[in-house]
Amino acid sequence: KNQVEQSPQSLIILEGKNCTLQCNYTVSPFSNLRWYKQDTGRGPVSLTIMTFSENTKSNGRYTATLDADTKQSSLHITASQLSDSASYICVVSDRGSTLGRLYFGRGTQLTVWP
Amino acid sequence: EADIYQTPRYLVIGTGKKITLECSQTMGHDKMYWYQQDPGMELHLIHYSYGVNSTEKGDLSSESTVSRIRTEHFPLTLESARPSHTSQYLCASSPAPGGGYEQYFGPGTRLTVT
């Protein structure tokens, strides 16, 4: 069964600190992995997308890593800001359908305190 | 920022009423999707469309229906709303088939059925 598991479920950090969010998946055949940021009451916004051959990708203070062998990904946030408070969702796409089927994790709820 | 819009953003309605959630995009994307998301849970695909006059049911069974008469418009209808329909509904679009393409999400409609 194709699944995406994220940890931790929630995280509280102080402004300026770094943090790392984890994602494990069993989706096969693998196409790509994305990290989305979802603010409360809003739709998800893409942060990074990585294919099988990419093992790291950065977007400003966000750096995602991918280990396709162990089927793990992480999202590292550097020098956190209050605006980073949101849910971070790991999404994996399979190669087996023309639909572009996405498998969503439940997200990590990050709260940044001043 | 993606050009995909949803209205209304919030809707509180009584049981038994008929409702239509609007979704439109100005990017000319062929693929469009409807997702349902409960608090703290992953997104579930309920409907998708490959293009005009194409609609399919997603992974999660839903009593809602959709139509795709124009490329830019993908409304979702509930003939008789029930409290179990209370949820957030997210619309998305992508430029082409296949999992390698980005999905762009609208801001969502938060539906509450009393």
In this model, does residue B99 exceed pLDDT 60?
no
Residue of B nearest to A5 (CA): B42
- Dihedral over alpha carbons A64, A58, A38, B26 (to 10 degrees): -130
- Which residue is associated with the tokens 């003939």? B79
- Closest-CA distance, B42 to chain A, in angstroms, reads 4
B10-13 vs A4-7, strand pairing mode: unpaired
**DSSP of B44-69, one letter per residue?**
EEEEEESSTT--EE-SS--S-EE--S
- For residue B44, CA distances in Å to A1, A75, A77, A101, A105 come to 15, 23, 27, 11, 10
Structure confidence at residue A48 as a pLDDT band (50, 70, 90): very high
Q: What's residue B96's pLDDT?
A: 72
- Closest-CA distance, B80 to chain A, in angstroms, reads 24
Nearest by CB to residue B40, choosing from A46, A93, A106, is A106
Residue B110 near residue B8, CB atoms below 8 Å = no
The whole-number average pLDDT for the span B14-24 is 96
Q: What is the distance between the alpha carbons of residues A89 and A108, in angstroms, rounded to a whole number?
A: 7
The whole-number average pLDDT for the span B5-32 is 95
Q: What's residue B95's pLDDT?
A: 85
Across the interface, whether the CB atoms of A31 and B45 are under 8 A apart is answered: no
In this model, does residue B1 exceed pLDDT 60?
no
Q: Mind listing the pLDDT tens digit for each residue in B7-16?
A: 999 999 999 9
A to B CB pairs, distance under 8 Å: 67
From the list A58, A55, A59, the residue with the least C-alpha distance to A70 is A55
Partners of A94 on chain B (C-beta within 8 Å) are 99
Neighbours of A72 (CB within 10 A): 15
Q: What's residue B102's pLDDT?
A: 81
Q: Record the tokens describing residue A74, joined without a space.
A: 């992480």
Q: Mind listing the pLDDT tens digit for each residue in A52-99?
A: 889 999 999 999 999 999 999 999 999 999 999 999 999 998 876 666
Residue B48 near residue B31, CB atoms below 8 Å = yes
The whole-number average pLDDT for the span A1-22 is 95
Residue of B nearest to A50 (CA): B100
The whole-number average pLDDT for the span B97-109 is 80
Residue of A nearest to B105 (CA): A43
The helix, strand and coil proportions of chain A, stated in percent and rounded to the nearest 5, come to: 5, 60, 40
Percent of chain B with pLDDT over 90: 79
CB of A93 within 8 Å of any CB in chain B? yes
Structure confidence at residue A38 as a pLDDT band (50, 70, 90): very high
Across the interface, whether the CB atoms of A44 and B99 are under 8 A apart is answered: no
- Closest-CA distance, A34 to chain B, in angstroms, reads 9
Q: What's residue B15's pLDDT?
A: 96
Burial of B22 (0-12, 13-18, 19+ CB in 10 A): middle
- Range of lowest pLDDT (A86-90, B58-62, B102-106): B58-62
Q: Mind listing the pLDDT tens digit for each residue in A21-30?
A: 999 999 888 8
Across the interface, whether the CB atoms of B42 and A4 are under 8 A apart is answered: yes
Q: What is the distance between the alpha carbons of residues A81 and A90, in angstroms, rounded to a whole number?
A: 20
Mean pLDDT of chain B: 91
Partners of B40 on chain A (C-beta within 8 Å) are 106-107, 109
B31-37 vs B44-49, strand pairing mode: antiparallel
Burial of B95 (0-12, 13-18, 19+ CB in 10 A): middle
Residue of A nearest to B90 (CA): A43
User: DSSP label at B73?
Assistant: B
In this model, does residue B98 exceed pLDDT 60?
no
